[in-house]
Structure 1
Amino acid sequence: MAAAATTFAVNSFAYADQPTPLRHAHAHNDYYHTRPLFDALDQGFGSVEADIFLVGDQLLVGHYQIELSSKRSLESLYLEPLKQRIETNGGSVYEKPGRFVLLVDVKTDGEKTYAVLEKVLAKYDDILSVTQDGKHEAKAVTVIISGNRAKQEIAESEPRYAGIDGRLSDLDSDAPADLLPLISDKWGSHFKWKGEGEMPADQKAKLREIVKKAHAKGRIVRFWATPEHPKVWSELNDAGVDLIGTDMLERLADFLNDKPLDSN
């Protein structure tokens, strides 16, 4: 378990501060944890994922509609606490500045949801990376939109507070990196290895080639539904995969902090 640290409370938002920042750690379906966002921050995660539904004029967080509650909005669970934390830390999510990704997975109609999301994000322009007049400014949090992506509407936004989550089919895209900052895809659609034995040489080479091509275009890489196995994490890490997703926050943090893990 990551070491505990001093706890602060800011405008009712309490969090444990100063873990070792782990920019490669991605909290898949982060909202399922006991303390959405904060459990990941306590472990030093550099990326969190929130699924959203447009309900009326609200952006509510959950994986299924039956889970939705007006008390669990994108703003209340993620944007407002991040803003408070960044203000306390003097401009960054952690005391040591570095990349922090908020991956927003849109579950409802892409165009209608983005029309509302765009207005919400503009309220947090002081903490969100932005592209305006052709110039990109990296700030404390980079928002990337996945799921039902309103690609044209996102690309035409001015200013633009979010990028698009690409797929392996976008590896050769000439879109600027701030518009297409991330390449994501399902692990099992491209790799059969699940962590048993050694990773086959051809799959290992394929993984490295994907990362190489993405990095050459200034993009980062993520796979979803990767096996929760230290051998898989090791291969992803060694290949330079930028975001390693997990539902097991403490276990991945221990791995990335180079702590011993059993093979179970």
Structure 2
Amino acid sequence: MRKNFWWIAVAWLAVASQQQLMAQEAPDMRQRFEQLMFADKTAGELAVHGHSHNDYEQAIPFLTAYHAGIESIEVDLFLRGDSLYAAHDKEDIQVGRTLEQLYLQPLAALYRANNHHPFADANKNLQLLFDFKEDYQRLMPALIKLLQSYDFMFDHHQSAHPVRIVISGNMPPAELFAQFPSWVLFDGRPNIAYTEVQRQHLGMISQDLKAYSQWNGKAVPPKAEMQKIMQDSQRAKEWGISFRLWGTADNVNTWMVLEKMGVSLLNTDHPAKLKIYLDELNASRFQLVKPYEVYTPSYKSDGTDKEIRNVILMIGDGMGLGHLQTAIIANRGQSNMQKMRHIGFSSTTSYSPSNTDSGAGGTAIATGSKTYNGYLSVDTNGTALPAIPDRIRSLGMRSGIISTGDVSDATPASFYAKNPDRNASEAISRSLLTNTTVDVLIGGTPEQYRHKQPYEQFKNELTKNGFALVNTVADFEQSDAEKIITFMPDSLTRPVKEGRGAVLSQLLNLTINKLDKRDKGFFIMAESAQIDYGGHARDLTYVATETLDFDQAVGEALRFADADGHTLVLVTADHETGALSLLDADAAKGSIQGNFASNDHSSILVPVMAYGPGAQSFIGFYENTEIFHRLMKLLEKK
């Protein structure tokens, strides 16, 4: 009896463990979107850092720049009596605005609180640049005396992570550098021929932009002027020190161009604005290392009036023109979508006052009707609307729905479910128990079926409606079931940047093979769900890799369309996510720098690209509902 009990316990633990593993494969989708939209950005290692110019003129000196993570802070100094004052001109000197009160005392408190680091982030460093507005012979002794009382955070002999001190302005000549404490460094000039010994006392190199150019921060300086700046910045880099230009404009384009020219300290009077730029700098950039070959269509059936037997609708969830251009630039100026000659633009507004969500956006495409955000293929009264698979069944066509996200999420669900709540995942999934118009459904596993017991129960219930339910692509491929649903594991729905692979292309080809030559043709909707996720995260690498993956799947659709001759390919989006614009693009290198104006959906028009018979019907500007109506007009001619 004990032996039997032991085996029962082991079996129970094994089932429980398997259920737990299934449940832990991916986070709850709402939690995931919270993380994507509101997670703090981490800049990581950067080639550029911020320099708070004339920092004492900030409304809150020191602390504004410090809490913006600015790693170089500039203070102009005057000596009055025994005190060093922070001021731009001698007329600006005020009681209480001393170097010690404004900077050293608060810095010392923070330094101690951070376990003898300048910042809580131990990877960040801090530099104080003291610009002498009077003769160094007066100021230097007073400054050194003051700093020695705080030597625990300045002297590299006493601290493993000292705050760097750099002297600028009316500073000693280079031949006197060695006379001062080794932890006191100097701000050099690019036109001075320093000896090797003198270079050891340099903390940075600075120069007025006007010494090179009258550039106003728009576009780029003339080539010869850029080359001179790059030459001087390269010398500073070889010396292992920072290079700064003062007198520069204070905007994103200027910061980008300065970095390209090798300027490593970005001068700013607006630390909080520069913080946003630097914090998101890595997430705003992408470069494709290895481009892929794109398919060149034959165009034999493109734009003709030949009979349409098959339709492949590709939806890049959240994909706008910025996303499309990102893919083109990254792949060295080439994409499969770019090969499609019949192009239109769709407005994605819904009946809700805010920008559309995927529920209303998907419904518009799937049913030809506008509705409220959050609704799935029901009108504003909650009445069910026939979707494309419902309409074409009477035409003898089969339907397949594919997604690289949760298969019960809004976009795929709008093609097979009717529900006034896009978040009702279980009810949406259970609508398949009575669905008679979808033959193939494949995507990520809904949350409630990540546990073994509910999964097996749902699987048994689906058989009553003729559906086979599998959870691997291999089982999907090998199955001979007429109607099949595949709940994919997390490994096949994770982001491309985390190793998903070309799953969408594979699933599209497998679904085509399942439905091709059955009855009187097929309709397939294939969604790249995670372009949208990347937009919510304001992560250009996420956006770019998902869009490039989507483009390769489009290439597979075009190949089939050419081979078949009677297939219409439509490529569009349910909305744009992120309000993505491109700040810089280099197709020769495949590199892009973008900017997300939002972490949510926008009202930006989305492209509609068409290839094959009837493609000419999708040219122009129109509402998203027109995609459905124009498609049905073509199909109902059959």
Asked whether the two chains share a fold, i.e. TM above 0.5, the reply is: yes
Provide the rounded CA distance (Å) in 2 between the counterparts of 1:124 and 1:167: 28
Specify the SS of the correspondent of 2:74: strand
CA displacement, residues 91-127 of structure 1 (integer Å, 9 cap, x when unaligned): 1121222321100011112111101111111111110
SS class of match (1:253): helix
Higher helix share: 2
* Equivalent residues, number: 243
Matches within 5 A, 1:180-195: 180-195=202-217
Q: Distance in 1 between matches of 2:193 and 2:50?
A: 22
Aligned to 2:101: 76
Task: Give me the whole-angstrom Cα distance separating, in 2, the residues matched to 1:82 and 1:19.
Answer: 23
Q: How does 1:214-229 map to 2 (within 5 A)?
A: 214-229=236-251
Shift of 1:172: 5.2
Matches within 5 A, 1:65-144: 65-97=90-122, 98-130=124-156, 139-144=161-166
* Deviation of the 1:20 alpha carbon: 6.1
Q: Distance in 2 between matches of 1:24 and 1:170?
A: 24
Note closer, same or farther for the CA distance 1:163–1:138 as it changes in structure 2 (3 Å cut): farther
| Cα distance change, pair 198–115 in 1 and its aligned pair in 2 (3 A) | closer
Unaligned runs of 5+ in 2: 1-37, 282-594, 598-638
* Shift in alpha-carbon separation, 1:66–1:172, aligned structure 2, 3 A: closer
* Aligned residue in 2 for 1:208: 230
- Structure 2 CA distance for aligned equivalents of residues 84 and 156 of structure 1: 30
Partner Cα distance (2:157, 2:262) in 1: 26
Q: Specify the alignment match of 1:252 in structure 2.
A: 274
The partner residue of 1:26 within 40, 51, 58 is 51
Q: Which residue of 2 aligns with 1:50?
A: 75
Q: Distance in 1 between matches of 2:132 and 2:68?
A: 26
SS at match of 1:231: helix
Aligned to 2:494: none
Q: Do the aligned residues in 2 keep the contact of 1:195 with 1:229 (CA within 8 Å)?
A: yes
Pair 1:155 & 2:178 matched: yes
Distance in structure 2 (CA, Å) of the matches to 1:20 and 1:37: 21
Given that 2:212 and 2:229 are in contact with CA atoms closer than 8 Å, whether structure 1 keeps it comes out as no
Please report how far the alpha carbon of residue 220 of structure 1 lies from its aligned counterpart in structure 2 after TM superposition: 1.2
- Superposition RMSD in Å: 2.8
- Cα distance in 1 for residues equivalent to 2:57 and 2:80: 20
Q: Which one has the bigger strand percentage?
A: 1
Counterpart of 1:207 in 2: which secondary structure? helix
| Residues 1:32 and 1:254: Cα distance change in structure 2 (over 3 Å) | same
Provide the rounded CA distance (Å) in 2 between the counterparts of 1:129 and 1:45.
21
State the shift of 1:201 in Å: 2.8
Range that drifts further, 230-239 or 168-177: 168-177
CA pair 163-33 structure 1, distance change in 2 beyond 3 A: same
Cα distance change, pair 261–112 in 1 and its aligned pair in 2 (3 A): farther
Structure 2: how far apart are the matches of 1:62 and 1:247?
Answer: 15
Structure 1 residue 217, shift from structure 2 partner: 1.3
Letter in 1 for 2:104: L
User: Would the aligned equivalents of 2:186 and 2:203 in 1 still touch at CA under 8 Å?
Assistant: yes
Greater shift after overlay, 97-106 or 253-262? Answer: 253-262
TM-score of the superposed pair, with normalisation by structure 2? 0.36
Distance 1:82 1:177, change over 3 A: farther
Distance in 2 between the 1:194 and 1:138 partners? Answer: 41
Indicate conservation of the 8 Å contact 1:130/1:162, yes or no: no
**TM-aligned CA distance change 1:167 to 1:261, over 3 Å:** farther
More divergent stretch after superposition (147-156 vs 50-59): 147-156
| Alignment check: 8 A CA contact 2:43 2:278 kept | no
Amino acid paired to 2:128 = L
Give the distance between the partners of 2:596 and 2:217, measured in 1 at CA.
14
Shift of 1:193: 2.1
The range that moved more, 175-184 or 210-219, is 175-184
Distance in 1, matches of 2:256 and 2:137, equals: 38
Deviations, residues 204-253 of structure 1 (Å, cap 9, x unaligned): 33222222111111221111111123221101123332211111122222
Shift of 1:75: 1.0
> CA, structure 1 residues 20+81, in 2 after alignment: closer, same or farther (shift >3 Å)?
farther
Single out whichever of 45-54 and 123-132 deviates more from structure 2: 123-132
Letter in 2 for 1:156: Q
Q: Which of the pair has more CA radius of gyration? A: 2
